[in-house]
Structure formats: structure tokens, C-alpha cells
């Protein structure tokens, strides 16, 4: 994170060198930038263009909302240790969206198998995934509870 109002201090150079390193880790990184005048983004020669070419997943530019920008930057600075905590601690997810992570599993299954042949197969896969993920989140024994489902005495329903 760079919070520096000095012109030509190397902010964009730092970001464009850091972005490929982070994206090589498989991260989707977006950048936030301030511009004090009328702005046309992602045009050759602009900082946001350089950010995108370096691998940024997206860019955001603030130019009219200085108070909101300052609040965001202050929050980012205040919680600096939390931003990349998932790199230091593997048990910390890199996002905070459990639903999105579950959906990613279904999309990966679709890609690997070329899609589901029948709606019935898709529904069965989703039911099984739902049961498995619920058991994991509740820290319940997976095999024991699957046996209970087949016996007719499921613990999670």
C-alpha cells in the first residue's frame, strides 16, 4: 500500500513490480488510485493502464470524493496487518465469501467434466456437496454422518 502525495516518488513503479509477484501466487489484485482532475482510465500512458498491464484484476479511481478516499486509506492503514494475513497463516481464507468458494467448487466440477449431462446429475452433485460442506463447517465426522444418512438417521437434518 502506498499513501504518498509526492509526484514521481515511484508509487506506480512499485505497484507495477509488485502486481506480477502477487498474481503469480494466484491472487486477484485490484488497485485504488486518486486523481485530482478529470480522468480517463486505462488509456496508454496513465497509471491505471500500467496497473492493468502489470496484472491488476481491476482499478478504481477516486477524484471527487476526497473524504471517502481518505476514510478508505485510513482504514487500510489501520488494518494493514490483516490485508495479507492469509499469506502468513494458511488457515485464514483469502476472501470472506464462503458462498463464492462453494460456487467455485461447482464451476470447477463443470469445467473438469465438461458440464453435467443431465439435470438430475447436477442436482445430485449439489445435494452431496451441500451435505459434505455442512458437515465440514460443523466439524462433524464426515464418514460417520454419511453412514447415518444411509441408515436413515442423519444427524444434520
pLDDT in tens, 70-116: 788 788 888 888 777 877 888 877 776 777 777 778 777 777 777 77
Q: Compute the distance between CA of residue 34 and CA of residue 64 in angstroms, rounded to an integer.
A: 9
- With beta carbons less than 8 A apart as the criterion, state whether 86 and 94 touch: yes
User: Which single residue is written with the C-alpha cell 451435505?
Assistant: 131
Of 46, 33, 45, 37, give the one whose Cα is nearest residue 3.
33
Model pLDDT for residues 23-77, shown as the tens digit of each residue: 888 888 877 776 655 555 667 877 778 888 888 877 766 665 567 777 887 888 8
Average pLDDT, stretch 110-123? Answer: 79
Residue 92 or residue 120, greater confidence: 120
Cell numbers standing for residue 147? 453412514
CA nearest to 34, candidates 9, 10, 5: 5
pLDDT of residue 109: 78
d(CA 103, CA 96): 13
What is the model's pLDDT at position 104?
A: 78
Provide the pLDDT for residue 2: 53
How many angstroms separate the CA atoms of 54 and 52, rounded?
5
Let me know if 51 is exposed, middle or buried by CB neighbors in 10 A (0-12, 13-18, 19+): buried
Give the pLDDT of residue 36. Answer: 58
* pLDDT tens for each residue of 128-154: 888 888 888 888 898 988 888 888 887
Supply the pTM of this predicted model. Answer: 0.39
Instruction: Name 104's Cβ contacts closer than 8 Å, sequence gap at least 6.
Output: none
CB 50 within 8 A of CB 16: yes
Amino acid at each position: 500500500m502506498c499513501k504518498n502525495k509526492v509526484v514521481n516518488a515511484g508509487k506506480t513503479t512499485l505497484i507495477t513490480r509488485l502486481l506480477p509477484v502477487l498474481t503469480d501466487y494466484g491472487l486477484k489484485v485490484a488497485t485504488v488510485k486518486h486523481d485530482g482532475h478529470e480522468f480517463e482510465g486505462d488509456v496508454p500512458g496513465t497509471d491505471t493502464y500500467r496497473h492493468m498491464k502489470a496484472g491488476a484484476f481491476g482499478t478504481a479511481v477516486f477524484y471527487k470524493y476526497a473524504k471517502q478516499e481518505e476514510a478508505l486509506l485510513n482504514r487500510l492503514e489501520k488494518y494493514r496487518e490483516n490485508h495479507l494475513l492469509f499469506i502468513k497463516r494458511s488457515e485464514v481464507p483469502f476472501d470472506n465469501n464462503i458462498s463464492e468458494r462453494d460456487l467455485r467448487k461447482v464451476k470447477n466440477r463443470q469445467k473438469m467434466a465438461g458440464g453435467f449431462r443431465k439435470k438430475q446429475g447436477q442436482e445430485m452433485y449439489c445435494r452431496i456437496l451441500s451435505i459434505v460442506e455442512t458437515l465440514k463447517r460443523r466439524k462433524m465426522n464426515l464418514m460417520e454422518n454419511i453412514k447415518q444418512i444411509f441408515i436413515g438417521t442423519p444427524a444434520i437434518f
